[in-house]
Structure 1
């Protein structure tokens, strides 16, 4: 496998693991609608906690923590773009089957909106993940790989 493909796959997988952690942390407390429903102040506090927790586990320096913060911001931007402007995604999905026939046009527009959000924001997320991962020392990278290998087989709830 070519090195750039391997690095990209590791980056994407690492970003999804980090994204899962961010999403899991965002559902704690009084935030019943996830990270996108938080105020900017609450999101900043949550991000600071996550950066501090990951920073302590990986022994990150300040520059690495800053890059991790940028990655967290990019992931939140992508998630917010993916969720879109809807306040109730379940109702939006239920509206597809509300009538006597499945609303194919609306379903297609929903899929196009979601894939457009992923396509437009993914390069920024990949670049932020690559910048963060490439800034890690070899022993820190080994910890990340070890964490992914140990936790990867049990899914998100692990």
Structure 2
């Protein structure tokens, strides 16, 4: 934890007078509501300056803690805003992202199945190498299908964007703002 946080907290940076924490009935579950390391960015103060939550703040309302989609919770809204998309582009992008979401969900199911198969392979008195190989092959096949879906989606997204929007998308991918 950042050492300067405690001094700020003790000086009244967070408390009833600031309308912070359980004093005002705010629910506290680590999303910028209330006191503590994840909530002190709420008032725009704290040791990291205005609006800064530093390393304790999450990425905001579009952040995806599970890493799905494009690394943001609402990739369509985020991309429409960042790339300044037209209505027609947003509609096409929605279809592309929906297809990709379906593929990612299937990959997640396949991953859980392969883990269960690996567990079955080691559960018996002897190691079942054939079952483990089958689970590994299924995992590789699922990863290949997901790779193809991502490449297809990126190609389709590229086709609907103009040059400036492509540059912005490239920048978002390079900087890690979006993840694939």
Q: What range describes the TM-score normalised by the shorter chain of this pair?
A: 0.5 to 0.7
Distance in 1, Cα, partners of 2:122 & 2:159: 46
Is the 8 Å Cα contact of residues 110 and 138 (structure 2) preserved in structure 1? no
Greater fraction of residues in helix: 1
Which of 53, 61, 69 is matched with 1:22 structurally?
A: 69
1:137 aligns with 2:162: yes
Is the 8 Å Cα contact of residues 80 and 90 (structure 2) preserved in structure 1? yes
Give ranges in structure 1 of 5+ residues lacking alignment.
1-18, 27-48
How many matched pairs? 114
1:46-57 equivalence runs, <5 A: 49-57=74-82
Q: What TM-score results when the alignment is normalised by the length of structure 2? A: 0.49
Q: What TM-score results when the alignment is normalised by the length of structure 1? A: 0.54
Deviation by residue 1:45-77 (Cα, 9 ceiling, x = unmatched): xxxx43112211110112221232222222222
Give ranges in structure 2 of 5+ residues lacking alignment.
1-65
CA RMSD, Structure 1 to Structure 2 (Å):
3.4
Aligned counterpart, 2:121? 96
Is the 8 Å Cα contact of residues 78 and 122 (structure 1) preserved in structure 2? no
1:28-107 equivalence runs, <5 A: 49-84=74-109, 90-107=115-132
Runs of 4 or more above 4 Å deviation: 23-26, 85-92, 118-125
